[in-house]
Structure 1
């Protein structure tokens, strides 16, 4: 996020946020978006081949959520969506220990992108309703989040897209975090 973008947002007071929803395939990104939109029928969720854009009004902010497919063939295209991103919601399947190294590699590559340097990072540790789900502490360690540069705002939150556990709380964190930076609001 460049200084000019911040100044423009303050001047226009547009109360709008651009959020990228990313993660490996089958992590639950689209299901989380559906849950955020009011718990629409979750049984019809299909893998996202490309991207979906949904706008949600939350706490008087207009949130443009870009849900981008996580298949290996789509990941090289993620960079096309980085411009003007205010927050990243990284979704991880907490039961998928086999792909934890892939998750770490993709997340590290993502957060090293200069165009995302100012974006807040929420890691949703999804599928907590399933047996064998890793704890948030395990995920913080596995993803080495504590080594992120000082100034990078981040949070790891256990959630379940199916039950709704902590999904709204995560969105609250994102909105409060971004608003405190872009709109000079107190938390």
Structure 2
């Protein structure tokens, strides 16, 4: 009887968890974004921006937004690490693709990289949020210019939810709006890719 009651209690108290894959070229601001999200939604528990170093491999962060548990997978964006991204696709519920708005020299490489991500069979149907980061800097591309560059992959996105939003991960500008968009789409896509139970 004890084991039955324990099993029922365990099943009733398990929480839904969504895995969000955070991708982008190296130096796009992925880890800074994760730390900013943690500071906003985990009551300030995050790493100071001056202590953030390039990700080699992966970082994992957890946040709760509107009673939704999100597991944030920040995966390194160096060229040699991008081959590993596909190992995460089947288990993620959404993708955040971070673009360095100041890196004009690699913007086309960035577009081609996102094209590879969204055309992979394991990412079909999941929401994609593209964040034009570093909008606080004077040398950043305008969001409209970035959208125009990335319009070439619009057909590859199909009918899935997708959006381009401006942010500054360092300053926090636009981060809560991005999180709100994401959580709404995760709930909307729940039937297609159900959350994990933890």
Length-normalised TM-score, structure 1: 0.87
Whichever of the two has the greater Rg, that structure is: 2
Candidates 66, 75, 79, aligned match of 1:59: 66
| 3-state SS in 1 of match to 2:132 | strand
1:108 aligns with 2:115: yes
TM-score for both structures, normalised by structure 2 = 0.82
Task: Give the structure 2 partner of residue 36 of structure 1.
Answer: 37
Paired positions, count: 173
Which stretch shifts more, 131-140 or 120-129? 131-140
- The equivalent of 1:181 in structure 2 is 189
Pairing 1:49–2:50 present: no
Flag as ranges the 4+ runs of structure 1 deviating above 6 A: none
Unmatched runs of 5 consecutive residues or more in structure 2: 1-12, 193-198
Contact 2:20–2:92 (8 Å) recurs in 1: yes
CA RMSD of aligned residues (A): 1.8
SS of corresponding position for 1:131? coil
Distance 1:109 1:15 in 2: 29
Change (3 A) 1:13 1:108: farther
Q: Which runs of 5+ in 1 are unaligned?
A: 1-11
